[in-house]
């Protein structure tokens, strides 16, 4: 099942990236500059695990980014639409790599299972 989920995420990564460059041709620089911006949320893990997980989940939640894209469309705000598409692409990239939304108890505990040093806790 994990392979199917990763393939689905790869398809979405291609879709969101293609949509971005269809709507904004020639803006590779902005795309590349912003692609890993959601990972800055990791810094909040230095404050508390809970705050870090919440921040990570907000910036990597595909539903939040879809709503942001719709708001950008409604407001006709290209920057908001660009960021939403880039963050959607980034989120699917993370899912392909096996990273999911974080549970509050442990950085390694994601909605896709355990990762990193805790991977042995998976039941599959």
Per-residue pLDDT, 82: 98
Rounded to an integer, the average pLDDT of 61-88 is 98
pLDDT at position 120:
74
49, 107 contact by CB (below 8 A): yes
CB-based contacts of 15, cutoff 8 Å, min separation 6: none
Report the alpha-carbon distance of residue 53 to residue 27 in Å, rounded.
Answer: 31
pLDDT of 124: 54
1 pLDDT above the threshold of 80? no
Q: What is the pLDDT of residue 110?
A: 87
pTM beyond 0.85, yes or no: yes
- Answer yes or no: is pLDDT of 4 > 70: yes
Cβ–Cβ under 8 Å, residues 2 and 115: no
DSSP category for residue 100? -
């Amino acid at each position: 099942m994990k392979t199917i989920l990763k393939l689905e995420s790869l398809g979405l990564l291609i879709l969101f990236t293609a949509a971005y460059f269809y709507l904004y041709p020639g803006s590779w620089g902005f795309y590349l500059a912003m692609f890993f911006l959601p990972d800055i949320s990791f810094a909040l893990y230095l404050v508390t695990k809970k705050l870090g997980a919440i921040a990570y989940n907000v910036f990597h939640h595909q539903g939040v980014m879809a709503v942001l894209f719709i708001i950008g469309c409604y407001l006709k705000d290209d920057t908001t639409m660009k960021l939403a598409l880039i963050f959607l692409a980034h989120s699917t990239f993370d899912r392909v790599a096996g990273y999911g939304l974080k549970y509050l108890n442990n950085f390694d505990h994601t909605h896709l299972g355990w990762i990193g040093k805790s991977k042995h806790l998976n039941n599959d």
